[in-house]
Structure 1
Amino acid sequence: MGGENLHHINSLAELQSLFASNTYVAVDFYADWCGPCKVIAPHYESLAKQHGAPGFLAFAKVNVDTAQDAARAFGVTAMPTFLFFKEGRQVAVNGQAAIRGADPRSLSAAAEKLGGLAKKRMAEA
């Protein structure tokens, strides 16, 4: 699975379109000027390659300076913030509604959980 699993989103409308075409979506709200965002980015990209499944699980990156409407819509005030969605609605994964900060352990656990759920959906499809 390649780079098509990581979507660079520039607006709330683009994000909603991604929600409409995938059961699960993990979203990284980041900023170019954010040091911790740069540190966690390669890890997030690796998780997208490992767990992404087009139509079932997508990974998105939202630059909060470019897509201010999306950041505002989900109340993102700290970067990085990782949010998770099922059928367009924000959900908690492993008991966490959001992961704030560069936390590779929590992020990996959430991606693995979503990856497992996506695989189950794929098997049922």
Structure 2
Amino acid sequence: LEPRDFCALTRMRSFALVAAACLALCHSCEAFTGAFPRHALHRASSPGRAAPLAAVKEVSSEAEFDQVMASSGDALVVVDYSTTWCGPCKVMEPKFVALSDETPQAVFLKVVGDSSAEASKLMKREGVRSVPSFHFWKNKERLEVVNGANTEALEGSLRKHA
């Protein structure tokens, strides 16, 4: 082999390794796709009976977010900021939904940043720099932010502010 051929072969081998790693990563991300429901579809209204009611409301624009905040009064508002590609966000989603069922006096919102340009704009306005990110609000004032897939911190903050 000529030295020039050897360099080309080395580059092709490196490319093949990177491509294989990307495929493996994409395959593991796909394992999360559709694994969990986007919302709780029913919340029990009485024992043995379920009424259709979203436990977590998805918000997709600044105007919608501002309207919910204005109408929430002094109730605790917990906002889950996520994206569709985020594995830890998908892992936290069932826990977030369960907490919304356990805390009916609070308002639970979800903003999926890559679902629309408006949702992305909202996340930028609210200073979200990583996902998942959980923001606690009361009377339009941000009380606390919990970043990452930390169930214990999320539960602790909910107990503290509820």
Report TM bin, short chain. Answer: 0.7 to 0.9
- C-alpha displacement of 1:114: 2.9
Give 2:82's aligned residue.
30
- Residue of structure 1 aligned with 2:160, choices 85, 105, 113: 113
Give 1:13's aligned residue.
63
Residues 52 and 42 (structure 1), Cα distance of their counterparts in 2 relative to 1, 3 Å cut: same
TM-score (norm 2): 0.62
Which 4+ residue blocks in structure 1 deviate beyond 4 angstroms? none
- C-alpha displacement of 1:72: 0.9
1:64 paired with 2:121, answer no
TM-score (norm 1): 0.79
Distance 1:101 1:18 in 2: 24
Stretches of structure 2 lacking an aligned partner (at least 5 in a row)? 1-41, 44-52
Task: Work out which structure has the larger RCO, using CA pairs closer than 8 Å and 6 or more positions apart in sequence.
Answer: 1
Q: C-alpha offsets along residues 23-55 of structure 1, whole Å, 9 cap, x if unaligned? A: 2210000001000000000000000111032xx
- C-alpha displacement of 1:20: 1.1
Q: Which amino acid aligns with 1:102?
A: A
- C-alpha displacement of 1:111: 1.8
RMSD: 1.5
The 3-state SS of whatever aligns with 2:79 is: strand
The number of residue pairs the alignment matches comes to 107
Distance 2:86 2:153 in 1: 19
The structure with the larger Rg is: 2
Q: C-alpha offsets along residues 56-97 of structure 1, whole Å, 9 cap, x if unaligned? A: x201000011201210111111110111111112113xxxxx
Report sequence identity in percent: 30
